[in-house]
Amino acid sequence: MCGKIYESLLTYDFDLTPKPGKAQSWDRSPNGLTYTFKLFPGITFHDGSPMTSEDVVFSVT
């Protein structure tokens, strides 16, 4: 249900394969412990303020 309210960095298809959401691409470190996401440009909040990587970090920590 929250998928109708919130948008995530990734979405998933029927086979649970990750697809772009707010992130247009992502990389995984060789040891698999760190993911780096590249956000789509121009994403804004409902009030028009830009979404930043700091906003993403705040929402997941």
Q: Note the pLDDT of residue 4.
A: 65
Q: Cβ contacts of residue 24 below 8 Å, gap of 6+?
A: 38, 39, 40
What residue segments make up the domains of the chain, in order of their start? 2-60
Q: Global pTM?
A: 0.78
Q: Note the pLDDT of residue 27.
A: 97
Superfamily of domain 2-60: Dipeptide-binding Protein; Domain 1 (3.90.76.10)
Tens digit of each residue's pLDDT (9 = 90 or more) over 2-60: 566 778 999 999 999 999 999 999 999 999 999 999 999 999 998 999 999 999 999 88
Q: Note the pLDDT of residue 6.
A: 79
**Strands, DSSP E only, in 1-61?**
10-12, 18-20, 23-28, 35-39
